[in-house]
Amino acid sequence: MKKYFALIPAAGVGARMAAATPKQYLSISGVPMLQHTLDAFHHSDLIEHTYVVVSPDDAYIDSITPERGATVLRCGGATRMESILNGLRAMRADLGDDDMVLVHDAARPGLTPALIAKLIAAVGEHEGGGLLALPVVDTVKSTRSGAVQTVPRDGLWLAQTPQMFSYALLVRALALAPDPNAITDDASAVEMLGFSPMLVEGHPRNLKVTLPADIAVAEMYLEQDSQ
């Protein structure tokens, strides 16, 4: 019977936050951002184990992971894709080809066990895996042609994480991807192999903290949980 594993790439520096520490360690509601992310997987009965990929010289991770049972892999690379691929290879002894890997951004602290369960249940045995995403609701404008144009929003989605694929498929997709800088999410690498990942509607609370203003929004959702 296949099992489900979480993989969190956390080797980035979060340059757009202009903070003194890497973004994933900034405080959200008094707790490091990455800790919220780890807790979501820790409290899910569906997740067999969680792995965190950090840079070899990360000086912060040891203070937040021991009590949450995550395995720290100090093999982060120059790009997100490289970090994930390094992590997958380091996990190889613990996973079978058909086991599922849920790759989740460290900077999405609003993930919940309920969203994890929704993704797993919806994707089921779909061969192309799947990911949480939100349908676009705003009017979309494009300036690619040099002039402002309205783009039909029907069928447009905003990708979130986790993005879940079998171990074998994910390793193959990332290893064969021609340009690491062009792979902005794992699903795009899988799509290049001809697969069509399933889109499972997520939740706005699962936003990615990218800019300083995003912290307040993330805290709003997390505080709702404590009320």
Domain boundaries in the chain?
Answer: 4-225
**Can you tell me the distance from the alpha carbon of 73 to that of 87, in angstroms, rounded to the nearest whole number?**
7
Instruction: Compute the mean pLDDT over every residue in the chain, rounded to the nearest whole number.
Output: 92
Asked if residues 103 and 170 have their Cβ atoms less than 8 Å apart, the reply is yes
Measured distance CA(200)–CA(148) in Å, rounded? 31
Among 9-18, 20-29, 201-210, the minimum mean pLDDT is found in: 9-18
> For position 85, what pLDDT does the model report?
96
Of 193, 194, 126, 201, residue with least CA distance to 164? 126
pLDDT for 209 equals: 95
Residue 157: predicted pLDDT: 98
Specify the amino acid at residue 100: M
Distance CA(87)–CA(196), nearest Å, equals: 24
What pLDDT, on the 0 to 100 scale, is given for residue 66?
A: 59
Identify the band that residue 184 occupies on the pLDDT scale cut at 50, 70 and 90: confident
Residues paired with residue 132 on neighbouring β-strands, in sequence order: 200
Cis peptide before 162 (omega within 30 of 0): yes
User: For residue 148, how many other CB atoms are within 10 A of its CB?
Assistant: 8
Q: Tell which residue, 166, 209, 216, 193, has the closest CA to residue 23.
A: 209
In this prediction the pTM is: 0.94
Does the structure show a pLDDT above 80 at 61? yes
Second-level CATH architecture of 4-225? Alpha-Beta Complex (3.90)
- Model confidence pLDDT, tens digit, residues 143-152: 999 999 999 9
Which segment of 5-9, 85-89, 198-202, 210-214 scores lowest on mean pLDDT? 210-214
